[in-house]
Amino acid sequence: MKTLSIDIETYSDVNLAKCGVYKYAFSPSFEILLFGYSFDGNEVQVIDLAQGEHLPQELIDALTDDSVTKWAFNANFERVCLSRYLSNIGISLDPFHDNHTLSKECARFLNPESWRCSMVWAATMGLPLSLEGVGTVLGLEKQKLSEGKELIKYFSVPCTPTKTNGGRTRNLPADAQDKWETFKRYNLRDVETEMGIKARLSKFPVPESVWDEYNIDQEINDRGVRLDMDLVQKAIEMDTRSRTELTAAMKKLTALDNPNSVQQMKQWLSENGLETDTLGKKAVAELLKTASPELQTVLTLRQQLAKSSVRKYQTMERAVCDDGRAHGCFAFYGANRTGRWAGRLIQLQNLPQNHLEDLADARALVKSGDFDAVKMLYEDVPDTLSQLIRTAFIPKDGCQFYVSDFSAIEARVIAWYAGETWRQKVFEDGGDIYCASASQMFRVPVIKHGINGHLRQKGKIAELALGYGGSVGALKAMGAIEMGLSEDELPPLVDAWRQTNPRIVQFWWDVDRAVMEAVKYKHTTSSHGLIFSCRSGMLFITLPSGRNLAYVKPKVGTNKFGGECITYEGIGSTKKWERLDSYGPKFVENIVQATSRDILCYAMKTLRCCSIVMHIHDELVIEADPCMSLDVLCEQMGRTPPWTPGLMLRADGYTTPFYKKD
């Protein structure tokens, strides 16, 4: 026995989408209803646990045997649920699995090293992240059964008690035996579909190095991160009181029934001489510049009421598990164009920044529940609570957080690829890239807080907006106008940046030509250390790390300007599978972000003996004993991978008793 393909159907009264699989599986109500499986690709079997059948000993042995590879689509769900099931039937999970680097927080879960995920495999090929979507795109003979959603709704979640159903809160097999038999066929088909995906993708195996990264990801999700639930609960209480007071103040000023209503507020503003099509964040900020004092007061209250980031506290409250930690916040290969992670549950990738100088004092006040003091000292209560969201993440007792991140990683990577030597010299000398960029563009010395320091902001906005072919629109989207630049300044800024970075511009169009040649003529081409190939209906860009970026069914198409471009199939802005178009700078963006991701993974492998609890973009957060050396950690993280010779890499860090942006 070498492989075991699995799909399970489960029940829990915890909302899976809102709370995550870790809390779902460790709810007292949790149970596995059906266990579909196949050993070594043989005929699929279904065990009806809900109606008294039991897992045979050979299955239990296989689940706990690390020499047997377990496969599932979104394997994290099966592995966590089966960890709970095995503990329920008295089977001890070795907390260290012969790997003593794993912390006791991981002890409740099956060792991820023997698990493989066909959803991750699909993601490495640029395919959808749903079983149904992958089956459709690959044209599998055995597709996922469409009635599954209704059956899951019927058997896997609580139901509303009614007179018709006798007041029950859950549907059992005996309540609809015909539906139950269909549910068993659905479970069996899911295993067949998952096996079909593996067979179809067999000639494009996932490198072992990527599976190793997946294992690290699973360890981080299993470990979780501790939440300061006292702070979370007090913040929710304060927000409730703040919203009540703000709404009352708005009603008094406007006499509106519902001042939260966009339609009512726009109408009221119009009646008071202020026309606007939207009440978005940027629009309100602009309106405040010209509004009368009375309208400014209303708009300011509107801004405070519109603060949505406080909802993250409510998400924390829902997601926290019985060990006081949030688990499962990271989706491996969630961004399948680059292979970067996506956030789940609390969405750590878009936490509000903190700018309060006395962050610890503000935190202590909120935690003490002193609403009046917070309001008196900080005035804007929603904004204060928003800035404290990061601080709700805390290390376990006796530890502190070590936070280390790469300095300007994407700017370093694109300069390295393109061979833009002046930029590499800036990084080598430990310079400020924004000052250096402004100095190159305007041909004067620029020093932060010094001579021509006002130009640094223009250098920064140009750096952030223009590296991937962006123009005036990209500068505006990055907030150039709000930062004080005029419309007239923007086109010259674009020209100056491109003239200053000719090798990066050349890199865009070298990649464009290489991709076009690979797709048009099915040639394998190379440029800047990258390999471009087109085979079996896929475009691959092989990175220096050896990992591939994959684009499905590439073709030569026509762009909106009437020129040639490459098109491929993928998930677009509509969240639907559609044909997308791309060109050199966009491919360069994918390449640079994917390479930055690979460098982070290299650091994670270097530091896997440490307890990584979070990673946000290019930053690692480690929970460790205070005697660990921050300097050694940053030196380890800043080590250049062997496949990036000449790259100027640097990691900086700090220690903190709660998470924050330093």
Mark whether 588 and 531 lie in a shared domain: yes
Closest CA to 641 of 592, 595, 610, 589: 595
**Other Cβ atoms within 10 Å of 202 Cβ, number:** 9
Question: In this predicted model, what pLDDT tens digit does every residue of 259-300 receive, in sequence order?
Answer: 888 888 888 988 888 888 888 887 888 888 888 888 888 888
Mark whether 525 and 452 lie in a shared domain: no
pLDDT of 257 > 70? The answer is yes
**Other Cβ atoms within 10 Å of 258 Cβ, number:** 12
In-domain check, residue 550: yes
**Segments of 86-129 assigned E as strands:** 115-117
Q: Do the beta carbons of residue 479 and residue 464 sit within 8 Å?
A: no
pLDDT given for residue 307 in this prediction: 78
Q: What is the mean pLDDT of the chain?
A: 92
In-domain check, residue 351: no
Domain boundary (500, 523, 547) is at 500
CA 472 – CA 400 distance, rounded (Å): 44
pLDDT over 90, % of the chain: 74
Mark whether 599 and 451 lie in a shared domain: no
Mark whether 479 and 540 lie in a shared domain: no
How large is the average pLDDT for residues 555-563? Answer: 88
In-domain check, residue 648: yes
Torsion sign (Cα): 370, 372, 373, 378: positive
Q: Do the beta carbons of residue 621 and residue 613 sit within 8 Å?
A: yes
> Which residues partner with 326 through β-bridges?
225
pLDDT of 554 > 90? The answer is yes
pLDDT given for residue 309 in this prediction: 67
pLDDT given for residue 485 in this prediction: 80
Mark whether 269 and 128 lie in a shared domain: no
pLDDT of 540 > 70? The answer is yes
Q: Which helix (H) or strand (E) holds 246?
A: helix 229-254
pLDDT given for residue 102 in this prediction: 54
Instruction: Using the structure block, give the residue that is written with the tokens 């006002």.
Output: 454
CA 545 – CA 460 distance, rounded (Å): 29
CA 529 – CA 10 distance, rounded (Å): 47
Treating both helix axes as pointing N-terminal to C-terminal, what angle do 148-155 and 177-200 enclose, rounded to 10 degrees? 130
CATH no. for residue 68?
Answer: 3.30.420.10
- The pTM score is 0.93
Mark whether 217 and 240 lie in a shared domain: no
Question: In this predicted model, what pLDDT tens digit does every residue of 416-441 receive, in sequence order?
Answer: 999 999 999 999 999 999 999 989 88
User: Rounded to the nearest 5 degrees, what angle is found at the Cα of 164, between the Cα atoms of 159 and 170?
Assistant: 25
Mark whether 233 and 213 lie in a shared domain: no
Mark whether 487 and 548 lie in a shared domain: no
CA 266 – CA 64 distance, rounded (Å): 61
pLDDT over 70, % of the chain: 98
Question: In this predicted model, what pLDDT tens digit does every residue of 316-340 receive, in sequence order?
Answer: 999 999 999 999 999 999 987 899 9
pLDDT given for residue 336 in this prediction: 79
pLDDT given for residue 302 in this prediction: 87
Q: Which residue has the higher pLDDT, 246 or 77?
A: 77
Q: Do the beta carbons of residue 141 and residue 348 sit within 8 Å?
A: no
Domain boundary (478, 500, 522) is at 500
Q: Do the beta carbons of residue 307 and residue 382 sit within 8 Å?
A: yes
CA 78 – CA 165 distance, rounded (Å): 31
In-domain check, residue 293: yes
Model confidence band, residue 105 (pLDDT cutoffs 50, 70, 90): low
Question: In this predicted model, what pLDDT tens digit does every residue of 151-195 receive, in sequence order?
Answer: 999 999 999 999 999 999 999 999 999 999 999 999 999 999 999
Q: Which helix (H) or strand (E) holds 46?
A: strand 45-48
Domain count, the chain: 4
- Could you tell me what percentage of the chain is helix, strand and coil, using 3-state DSSP and rounding each to the nearest 5? 50, 15, 35
In-domain check, residue 443: yes
pLDDT of 96 > 50? The answer is no
Tokens of residue 38, six digits: 């196949």
Domain boundary (293, 319, 345) is at 319
Question: In this predicted model, what pLDDT tens digit does every residue of 336-345 receive, in sequence order?
Answer: 789 999 999 9
In-domain check, residue 328: no
CA 7 – CA 414 distance, rounded (Å): 42
How large is the average pLDDT for residues 382-402? Answer: 96
CATH no. for residue 534?
Answer: 3.30.70
In-domain check, residue 380: no
Mark whether 66 and 107 lie in a shared domain: yes
Mark whether 22 and 71 lie in a shared domain: yes
pLDDT given for residue 45 in this prediction: 97
SS3 letters across 284-328: HHHHHHHCCHHHHHHHHHHHHHCCCCCHHHHHHHHHCCCCCEECC
Length of the chain: 662
CA 510 – CA 529 distance, rounded (Å): 12
How large is the average pLDDT for residues 213-238? Answer: 97
In-domain check, residue 337: no
Mark whether 490 and 615 lie in a shared domain: no
Mark whether 199 and 259 lie in a shared domain: no
Task: Name residue 95's amino acid.
Answer: P
CA 207 – CA 205 distance, rounded (Å): 6
pLDDT of 92 > 60? The answer is yes
For the ranges 361-370, 469-478, 523-532, the lowest mean pLDDT is seen at: 469-478
- Parent domain of 150: 3-223
pLDDT given for residue 100 in this prediction: 45
Burial tier of 437 (Cβ tally within 10 Å: 0-12, 13-18, 19+): buried
